[in-house]
Each structure stands twice: as C-alpha cells, then as structure tokens.
Amino acid sequence: MTALYIRAEIRQLLRKEKNVTVLEAIRMLLRREESQEDDLTDEEVAELDAQRADRISGKVKFVSEEGSIRMIRTGRKA
C-alpha cells in the first residue's frame, strides 16, 4: 500500500465522518508534532525521575491495576 493510496482512503473516510469527537482526535493525532504542549519541562522530568527512583528503591510500593481493584473491593489499604 502506498502513501498516496492511504491518503486517498483517509480522505474518503473523513468526508463520511460526522462524529466531531472522532474528527478532533484525528486532528490532534495529525498535529502531534506541531504541539509543544505535551513536551515535559525539565522540572517535570526531574519529578518523574525522582518518583521512579523511589519506586525502584522500594521507598514507594507499586500496585498493579488488578491489585488496586482487588484492594478497593476488599477495602484494604496499600
């Protein structure tokens, strides 16, 4: 499949699409490189690094999604 063919198919699908939410999601996806909003600041990266270090060192306990759901259902705390 060539890029030309894919573009033509996308144009056809977009012409038929009526759902504004879907169209906005497509626009956001296509503009992902233009947007600088999703880039993290140096401070945010430092905070994420500190949180990761805490988790790796055992200072903070990681609970999986399944574990969280199980804890909620049984009323347990981490």
Residues 6+ apart with CB under 8 A from 51: 60
Asked if 60 and 51 count as a contact pair (C-beta separation under 8 A), the reply is: yes
**pLDDT, position 7:** 92
Question: pTM to 2 decimals?
Answer: 0.40
Q: Which ranges of the chain have pLDDT less than 50?
A: none
C-alpha triplet 67, 73, 75: angle, nearest 5°? 95
Amino acid identity for residue 52 in this structure: R
Distance between CA 38 and CA 31 in Å, rounded? 11
**pLDDT, position 78:** 58
